[in-house]
């Protein structure tokens, strides 16, 4: 009985630990600007409203009492950031997934010389902290004129997502049933086997992979911070971090954070049933 009580107490603690900050900014996002200044801070919005959600995006909002909320001065940046983040995450995912499907399939199911060494190379790139390669990239991009360009950021982000996703999906591809022999007897070519048999079989893993890829690009901060901050190509993470130095309206900041959380939330919700069925914890190198 005591054990059970202890267990639940721990669970409650963990939920509180992770969920409370989330609740706190949600509370702020739905409060009026004045509510954020109340001391001691209340545990619920002083006057629940969606005003900050509207003003953070640059809309004027009038509530039913006739109170007028003016658009945020940072709204333009938020809108550009949202749009750029979306373009970045989508293009990175669309480029990464076909490449990674081929790579992970090759590493996971085919035997060739130096395979383990090449897998170790992929792993090494995954293990490399992005910050350690940003300076060479910056110098290179200066010469190529890619600094401050979304295209440049997409290119750099691919160097993170492709190894990461390859590494994650190798084990998944390897655990699929060995149907290639069956397909060969049925007379399917290698490419046709991959497209008509393997990819449909692997759709769960590929869906989860796409999600992880999209979120990695969506959340990518280090490269974006160095390469595109303050330019028209800026993405949402550097925009939000930049706000901290501009003493923003707390409720509008919370609303912006809320916007940045919507895509991950939707994706995770949509794909949650796949995540557990996908085994990505298998060791890769044999």
Partner 1 sequence: MSEIYVKDLTKRFGKTVAVKDLTLEIKDQEVMVLVGPSGCGKTTTLNCIAGLEKPTAGRIFFDGIDVTETPSHKRNIAMVFQSALLYPHLTGAQNIRMSFKAQKISREEAEARLAQVVRLLGIENELDKLPSQMSGGQRQRVAIAKALARGAGVLLMDEPLSNLDAALREELRSELLVLQKQLKTTMIYVTHDQVEAMVLADRIVVMQNGTICQIGTPNEVYNEPLSTFVAGFIGSPPMNFLRGTLHTGENGVKFMFQGRFIDLPQRFRKAGFGYQEGQQVLLGVRPQHIRLLPSSAEAKLVGTVYAVERLGKENVVTVEMLSGEKLKAIAPPEIQFHIGDVVHIDILLDNVFVFDAETGQNILSSGAMATNRIVTVHAESS
Report the interface residues with partner 1, using CB under 8 A: 177-179, 181-188, 197, 200-201
Name the minimum Å distance from CB 192 to partner 1. Answer: 9
Between 3 and 178, name the residue whose CB sits nearer to partner 1. Answer: 178
Give 69 or 105: the residue with its C-beta nearer to partner 1.
Answer: 105
Helix intervals (H) in 110-249? 115-127, 131-144, 150-174, 180-185, 190-192, 199-201, 203-219, 222-227, 236-243
Which pairs from 240-244 meet CB under 8 Å and 24+ separation? 240/81, 242/77, 243/74
Give the nearest distance from C-beta 174 to partner 1 in angstroms. 15
The least CB distance from residue 181 to partner 1, in Å, is: 5
Contact between 254 and 25 (Cβ < 8 Å): yes
Question: What CA–CA distance (Å, rounded) separates 273 from 112?
Answer: 35
| Closer to partner 1 by Cβ: residue 43 or 112 | 112
CB of 182 to partner 1, least distance (A): 6
Taking the least distance from each CB to partner 1, the nearer of 101 and 157 is 101
| Nearest-5° Cα angle at 226, 224 to 230 | 75
Q: Is 136 or 200 the residue whose CB approaches partner 1 more closely?
A: 200
Report, in this order, helix, strand and coil percent for the chain, each rounded to 5.
Answer: 70, 0, 30
Residue closer to partner 1 by CB (options 189, 272) is 189
Query: With contact defined as beta carbons under 8 Å apart, do 196 and 186 qualify?
Result: no
Per the CB < 8 A criterion, the answer to whether 258 and 25 are in contact is yes
CB of 176 to partner 1, least distance (A): 8
CB of 277 to partner 1, least distance (A): 12
């Amino acid at each position: 009985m005591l054990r059970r009580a202890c267990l639940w107490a721990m669970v409650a603690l963990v939920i509180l630990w992770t969920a409370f900050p989330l609740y706190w900014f949600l509370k702020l996002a739905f409060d009026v600007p004045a509510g954020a200044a109340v001391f001691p801070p209340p545990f619920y919005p002083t006057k629940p409203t969606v005003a900050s959600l509207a003003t953070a995006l640059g809309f004027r909002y009038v509530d039913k009492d006739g109170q007028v909320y003016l658009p945020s001065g940072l709204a333009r940046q938020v809108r550009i950031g949202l749009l750029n983040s979306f373009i970045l995450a989508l293009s990175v995912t669309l480029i990464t997934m076909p490449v990674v499907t081929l790579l992970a399939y090759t590493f996971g199911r085919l035997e060739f010389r130096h395979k383990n060494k090449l897998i170790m190379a992929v792993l090494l790139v995954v293990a490399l902290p992005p910050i350690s390669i940003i300076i060479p990239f910056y110098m290179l991009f200066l010469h190529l004129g890619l600094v401050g360009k979304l295209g440049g950021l997409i290119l750099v982000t691919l160097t993170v997502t492709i190894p990461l996703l390859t590494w994650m999906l190798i084990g998944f591809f390897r655990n699929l049933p060995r149907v290639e022999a069956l397909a060969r007897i049925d007379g399917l070519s290698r490419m046709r086997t991959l497209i008509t048999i393997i990819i449909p079989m692997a759709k769960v893993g590929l869906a989860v992979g796409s999600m992880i890829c999209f979120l990695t690009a969506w959340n990518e901060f280090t490269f974006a911070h160095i390469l595109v901050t303050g330019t028209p190509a800026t993405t949402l993470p550097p925009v939000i971090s930049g706000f901290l130095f501009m003493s923003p309206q707390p409720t509008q900041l919370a609303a912006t954070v809320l916007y940045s959380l919507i895509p991950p939330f939707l994706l995770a919700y949509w794909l949650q049933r796949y995540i557990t069925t996908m085994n990505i914890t298998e060791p890769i190198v044999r």
